[in-house]
Structure 1
Amino acid sequence: MRKQLVTVAPAVAMTVVSMVLTLAVVVMWLGGSMPWQIALVVGLGLDGGWLATLAYERRLAAQGDHSTPVTIVGWAFGLAATGVLVAHALGEESTGAWLAISWLPLAAKALWLVHGMWERTALTPVALDAIRGIQQEARDEAAVARARLRAQAGTEETRLTAVTETGSRVARVQAKTAERLSGAWATLETARQGEGTARALTCVTDRVTPTSQPRWELPVWAPFEPVPALDAPALDDAELDRIVTELHSSETPPLSYRELSLRFRAAGHSASETRLRAAWRRVTTTAS
């Protein structure tokens, strides 16, 4: 009801002012040439016709209907009232002041038009509450979605930070390990290639035979390529010794155990590491 008064109150006020002004102008304008009673009847007739068409328009609007002829007649009465005010203003000395108020009848009609448009688009309190509920629900869902996205972004940021820090620690550990392995590898290689290594190892072991010299092979730390397993028949000790002898004596100086093992398996032979190393020891011992 309060919202309705916002549009209907100005229209009623403007209508009353314009009707009173039109009646007064007609009486003053026509009162000099005819009895004022007749001028009053003319003014009341003009205002009455306008008021009757306006009441009929409001009745049709309340029923949800509309009549174009009635609307045309109403605007005709409004234009007639405006015309009377303009004609009166042109005959007065202060023309500008009277012209300034001659638009009031048309303004009243325009305000009633605005009020009719508001009534056609007005909603009931139930519908307005439903719309507010829908809008609030949409705002709640949007807020929850934004909160969820922010939480997911924070979680992902934390995860990436943890992964990055862990990867950095792993990289540092690997670098330190590689550095230590490199140092140990260099030390072992120096000991392996040193001239005094064999003599130092010989002094702590006995000869296998009166003429043999102990042979030591330190483990070799170096990159190697794995040899794919091949299907081959099992070898007995005699055949294994023969193959190892051929491989051992195929080059000068003789092959080390590691080189012999690689060539043995690359040739397609199959034997366990324990048997192959035992055969290599028998061959090297006999050769010595």
Structure 2
Amino acid sequence: MTVDADALVSWFDENARDLPWRRPAVTAWQILMSEIMLQQTPVARVAPIWLDWVARWPVPSAMAASSQAEVLRAWGKLGYPRRALRLHECSKVLATQHGDVAPADVDTLLGLPGIGAYTARAVATFAYGQSVPVVDTNVRRVVARAVHGLAEPGNPSTTRDLADVRALLPPNRGATFSAALMELGAVICTAKKPTCAECPLPHCAWVEAGKPAHAGPPKKVQKFAGTDRQVRGKLMSVLRDTSGPVEKARLDLVWTTDAGQRERALDSLLADGLVEQTAEGLFALAGEG
């Protein structure tokens, strides 16, 4: 079983969402920013912040000239703020070593700070139109169902997943096919409620097998309330909303339920380089201490 590339691309041409980073004037650097922001974060939350970032930092050198604290503050509540620090570090390398543009070559992209297999191929594909396999959660789900007849993909394997998608790429319009495959998983072949009646693919191994249930272990649902991640977010909010270093007592107020957990969260922020402690014992965002 394979994926009907013509049917999928035709559907995408008519139904693709009008996402700001898909518009013609968007640069490779701006696409790179969008891809980092979109990791584990919904489109609706990313779009307005991405637009602000494009206006503020249209080229890598603009971001490189800003402090870590400025970038972290602009990141707001997107979550996983280490992504913001990676982007800032990446901007410096692009500004000084790559002519202030994101390169087109996958291997070169992989050598940049914080750029992994997915992001490198996404930039090469969506910014430069290269026909290279791009694999995210949505793509893995579509391939598992349409090609392998499985309700859910197995554990990720970069080698296997890239090989699966590479085998599906058409000789022409490979970049559009990759975007369409991802879009299909995002809006129709979704994890919880796939709308198979609206699927443009004429054949799907999973549907033709009667939609067998997932045979593997159930997925673990990631909770947020009460986790160290929530506490980290509350601590970061205090520092983002303050123009300079703050006393420890200010941070202690954000989480009184479990002092040990609060201290652990603060220690992890310090270890990750997101927060700094001054010689006077105050706390601030990275680059502001």
TM superposition score category, shorter chain reference: under 0.3
Question: Which structure exhibits the higher relative contact order, with contacts defined as CA atoms closer than 8 Å and separated by 6 or more residues?
Answer: 2
Report the TM-score, using the length of structure 2 for normalisation: 0.17
Q: Higher helix proportion, which one?
A: 1
- The structure with the largest alpha-carbon Rg is 1
